Amino acid sequence: MNFSVMPPEINSVLMFAGAGSEPMLLAARGWSELSAELQSAAAGFASLTSGLTGQFWQGAAAQAMTGVAQAYAAHLSATAAQAGQVSAQANGVAAVFDAARAAIVHPLQVAANRTQLVSLVVSNLFGQNAPAIAAVEANYEEMWAQDVSAMSGYYTGASAAVAQLTPWELTSEGIVIPLPDHIGVLNFTPGNIGSLNLGIGNVGDLNLGSGNTGAGNLGLGNFGELNLGSGNGNSGNGDSTTPLSASFNLGSGNLGDANLGSGNLGMLNLGSGNKGDTNFGFGNIGDLNLGSGNIGSHNFGSGNSGSANLGSGNTGNSNFGLGNTGSTNLGSGNTGSANFGSGNLGDANVGWGNLGSHNLGFGNNGSNNIGIGLTGDNQIGINFAALNSGHGNIGLFNSGNDNVGFFNSGDKNIGIANSGLGVGPLSTEFFTSGEFNSGVGSSGTLNTGWGNSGSTNTGYFNAGHTNTGLFNSGDTSTGLFNSGDTNTGLFNSGDTNTGFFNAGTANFGSFNGGSTNTGDWNSGSINTGYANSGGTNTGILNAGNLNTGAFSPFDQPVVNSGFSNDFDGPFGKGGVNQSGAFNQGVGNSGFDSGDNIKGGTVSSSGFENHGNFGSGFLNAGSFSSGFRNTGPEGINPGFMSGFVNSSGTFISGFFNAGTFTPGLLETFNSGFGNLGNQVSGLFNAQNVKSGPIH
């Protein structure tokens, strides 16, 4: 484990998140009490056996019974000793954790350091804060080193404690009693393949739950080990994909390891719906983001398309501000790079509202100027006659045209410091660099909301496109914190899901690591039911495949599970590899998918869906999720999510109708009640609009 790549924001928060060492101490106490009880039972059993042997047990049969009894007493004593060892090692792990937690930097100290750095950078207009900035950064490096040392020591100590544990000798050969419904040794409940499971339908050992494939899971339907949650991993059962186990997750529906959250595709995420590693937030695509809805890595903020941004809604890299299109800007609403200020259309400007490059001042239309409101290049001065260098402006320091406001270098904006093209009446923009946006800090196109670096979004901090909601880094989603595409719901890192926290694809339900499931907590695929780690099951808690029922760890010799999926009859043609009821096609789950469609559908979940790779209710068109969406007929993809959208493609939201033209597969609508193409917002009947009522 390489902790040196993780900043103190991650290491410190991970160490202080959760319940601390108390659960491990409680476990140690429980193992100690179990050891004492077993020792007492062994002593009592040995004493009773000795008394019976001396008085009542005589003959050959009695000798055989005495041998078995002595073996059982020895087994109790050995188990008691092992329980005592586990207790001691658990106490050791807790002690190592407490020592590491005492040595690590508190998250509030790290946050205070970063806040101080931001304050110094913002006020460093003339470089006077350079020594203080260097000191703060040096302190931050010391925090980083201190955290790495503490975490490495914790990992080494905990690994050493675990390594001292010896494998459990569950029974001696003389007292194994095979039972037909307990396949394995010492399962506490029936229907398991493995040992020491407390639950039903598990394949593996030491599971406290049901339907798991793996070991040490506390939950349902996991494929992997030591998960505290349900539906983690993808077993590959059902759709013949490559298995991807998930382990050490505290959450559900993850594909990856060591996530604290749900619906992640990756590892070491503290949050949900992320597609990447070591994110502290929600709905990110990339690594090491501190925020939500980012596409990229090392962002401190939300809704960025790029990397190393400190702020939100930026398209580019290393920006400090809002709504920049470009890189290394210190400010907001810039189109260009290396600007120190806001609302500049160009590069390397120091000031606000300049149209051009290398200007020092405000509202200049040109390049290499020093002053205010100058038109042309290489000038010095202030244009007192017209402080706006553009035309048709109402306000001050505008270098663009037809603006109402201040410091606008773009055209037709109503607001402050916009370098993009505005919408006009009924729309107000602040610090936007994209075109046709309504809101604050957007660098994309046709957005209604704040901090959107994607395009055609209605909402806040979306880095993806055509989303209706918040913090979506995927495309065409209706909901929050989705890093996948065409989702209706929350925290989905997979695609075309209707539900919550899905890392798989085309699920109608929640917390699924597998794909094409109708139900919850499935790590297998094409299941209609709950908590199945097997595939193509109709039922609950199955670790096997093609079962119709519950709690089965076995595979069944059939082509479909469920009802009326595999014959010609009043419901049309059946198919193969299907679960649920009355489905037609290949690889569907749910009910009545592909009705009246020649050949049926492929890989759909939910109810009455008539397109491939869909989820939800009553949708027509491929790649659609949600409720009653009507996309183009045939094999053309719909890419719709939301509620009652029709006549187009790439649509999310409510009651939108685009204009679909054969051969042109892009409509791009999001919002509520829109008619037209490339529209976001409310009740728009024209094309290429954002905001309300156009």
Residue 169 belongs to a domain: yes
Q: Is the model's pLDDT at 539 over the cut of 50?
A: yes
Which tokens hold the place of 687?
Answer: 């094309």
pLDDT tier, 186 (very low <50, low <70, confident <90, very high otherwise): low
* pLDDT at residue 567, as a whole number: 53
In this structure, which amino acid lies at residue 311? G
* pLDDT at residue 319, as a whole number: 94
Question: What value does the mean pLDDT of the chain take?
Answer: 83
Which tokens hold the place of 242?
Answer: 């490559």
pLDDT tier, 183 (very low <50, low <70, confident <90, very high otherwise): very low
- Tell me which DSSP letter residue 124 carries: -
Distance between CA atoms of residues 63 and 65, nearest Å: 5
User: What CATH code is carried by the domain that includes residue 163?
Assistant: 1.20.1260.20
* pLDDT at residue 426, as a whole number: 57
Distance between CA atoms of residues 524 and 535, nearest Å: 5
- Count of domains in the chain? 1
pTM of the model: 0.71
647-674: average pLDDT: 73
Q: How far is CA 353 from the centre of its chain?
A: 38
Cβ atoms of residues 653 and 672 within 8 Å: yes
Distance between CA atoms of residues 366 and 375, nearest Å: 6
Placement of tokens 């045209």 in the chain: 401
Q: Is the model's pLDDT at 150 over the cut of 80?
A: yes
**pLDDT per residue as tens digits for the range 549-575:** 887 888 888 888 888 776 554 444 567
50-76: average pLDDT: 70
Q: Is the model's pLDDT at 275 over the cut of 90?
A: yes
Residue 662 belongs to a domain: no
What domain range is 73 assigned to?
Answer: 3-175
* pLDDT at residue 543, as a whole number: 85
**Mean pLDDT lowest among 85-99, 447-461, 596-610:** 596-610
Phi, psi of 686, rounded to the nearest 5 degrees: -105, 165
**pLDDT per residue as tens digits for the range 235-261:** 888 776 788 989 988 999 999 999 999
* pLDDT at residue 479, as a whole number: 87
* pLDDT at residue 154, as a whole number: 81
* pLDDT at residue 180, as a whole number: 40
* pLDDT at residue 182, as a whole number: 42
Q: Is the model's pLDDT at 511 over the cut of 80?
A: yes
Residue 101 belongs to a domain: yes
Beta strands per DSSP E along 411-554? 414-416, 429-430, 438-440, 448-450, 458-460, 468-470, 478-480, 488-490, 498-500, 528-530, 538-540, 548-550
**pLDDT per residue as tens digits for the range 86-98:** 888 888 888 888 8
Residue 372 belongs to a domain: no
Residue 161 belongs to a domain: yes
Distance between CA atoms of residues 428 and 439, nearest Å: 6
pLDDT tier, 331 (very low <50, low <70, confident <90, very high otherwise): very high
Between residues 50 and 323, the one the model is more confident about: 323
* pLDDT at residue 118, as a whole number: 81
Distance between CA atoms of residues 231 and 422, nearest Å: 46
Listed residue (464, 458, 408) closest to 438, CA to CA: 458
Which tokens hold the place of 346?
Answer: 């160009």
Q: For 413-443, b where at least 16 C-beta lie within 10 A, e where not — what string?
A: bbbbbbbbbbbbeebbbbbbbbbbbbbbbbb
Q: Is the model's pLDDT at 339 over the cut of 50?
A: yes
Residue 595 belongs to a domain: no
Radius of gyration of the chain (CA): 31
364-386: average pLDDT: 90
pLDDT tier, 335 (very low <50, low <70, confident <90, very high otherwise): very high
Residue 431 belongs to a domain: no
Distance between CA atoms of residues 110 and 331, nearest Å: 24
CA angle, 344 as apex, 338 and 346 as ends, to 5°? 60
Beta strands per DSSP E along 561-650? 575-576, 585-586, 601-602, 615-617, 622-627, 637-643
**Mean pLDDT lowest among 152-161, 430-439, 638-647, 660-669:** 660-669
- Between strands 223-225 and 320-322, the pairing is unpaired
Q: Is the model's pLDDT at 15 over the cut of 70?
A: yes
Q: Is the model's pLDDT at 3 over the cut of 80?
A: no
Residue 282 belongs to a domain: no
